Amino acid sequence: MFILFHLLTGLVLGYLLADLLGTRRVILPCMFGALLPDLVDKPLGILVLGETLSSGRVFFHTLPLLIVVLLAGAVVLARYGRPSLFAVGVGMASHQALDVMWTQPNTWLYPFLGPFDTIATEGWFLRVFIAELTNPLEWVSGAALLALLLPVLLPGRTEALAARYGRLFRRLALGTAVLLALVGLFLIAGGALRHYSGLAGWADEALWYALVGGSVLLLTAYVLCRIAARLRVDAPWIGLI
């Protein structure tokens, strides 16, 4: 998946985790965790160790490391009441899910099945940059990300605007939720049809990208609907959803 989509997924999961744990302090760590595997592995596996690893998905894309981070985060949360590390682990889990790492078992289960899968790294960053600019889903993700991130970064300003333009914000939230839900259902239906028509097997990355990406958009639509519901009763939309 792509940068903005990774960030949007981390933000949405951060909102839900904030609702579960009762603190907004998990939102930004969850977003950081959603981008952390690429922040580490892309420079390390392509620029620093490109001749030996030749991959942008190495250590931070592995399931064993993810389990270690989640377990450590759960211990810190239970013992000290600090949720940030656990939120980072949740974000990392979302990144691996969006990258459908189970379709690359050598990398995902490293070191148990052998070396990392490799890629052609020449011109890789330019190809990714062009893909970022030309993917419509990234533009949609960017708009949704901006709308949901403003209350986190500017809570006071957003509260004041919500109090004044609550009805407008509610309509925008519901309209965006409907749009994202339709796109998400389209992706999921397309992936399902592709699979059941025999064009894709369960190991096909395109199938999983459609299913996982569509599910994230449905989850984002759900969060927007929760926010719209809070606006209806004049509850703070930066508060727990």
> Is pTM, for the whole model, over 0.85?
yes
Average pLDDT score, the chain: 86
Name the maximum alpha-carbon separation found in the chain: 59
- Using omega within 30 degrees of 0 as the cis cutoff, is the peptide bond preceding 111 cis? yes
* Residue 80 in this model has a pLDDT that exceeds 90: yes
Is 31 inside any structural domain? yes
Is 218 inside any structural domain? yes
Contacts of 113 (CB under 8 A, 6+ apart): 105, 106
User: Structural domain of residue 228, as residue ranges?
Assistant: 3-232
Quote the number of domains for the chain: 1
Which residue in this structure is represented by tokens 């030309």?
A: 134
* Residue 226 in this model has a pLDDT that exceeds 90: no
Burial label for 233, CB within 10 Å (0-12, 13-18, 19+), is: exposed
Q: What average pLDDT score do residues 112-128 get?
A: 79
* Residue 234 in this model has a pLDDT that exceeds 70: no
Q: What confidence score (pLDDT) does residue 31 get?
A: 96
In sequence order, which ranges of 84-165 are alpha helices (DSSP H)? 84-98, 105-108, 124-134, 136-153, 155-164
Is 106 inside any structural domain? yes
Q: What confidence score (pLDDT) does residue 118 get?
A: 83
* Residue 82 in this model has a pLDDT that exceeds 70: yes
pLDDT in tens, 40-68: 999 998 888 877 888 889 999 999 999 99
201-221 b/e with 16+ CB inside 10 Å = b? eeebeebbbbbbbbbbbbbbb
Is 98 inside any structural domain? yes
Is 238 inside any structural domain? no
Residue 90 or residue 167, greater confidence: 90
- Percentage of the chain exceeding pLDDT 70: 94
Q: What confidence score (pLDDT) does residue 193 get?
A: 84
- Cα separation, 136 vs 217, in Å, equals 14
Is 45 inside any structural domain? yes
Contact 62, 109 (CB under 8 A): yes
Q: What average pLDDT score do residues 33-43 get?
A: 95
Residue 36 or residue 141, greater confidence: 36
Is 240 inside any structural domain? no
Is 237 inside any structural domain? no
pLDDT band at 202 (very low <50, low <70, confident <90, very high): confident
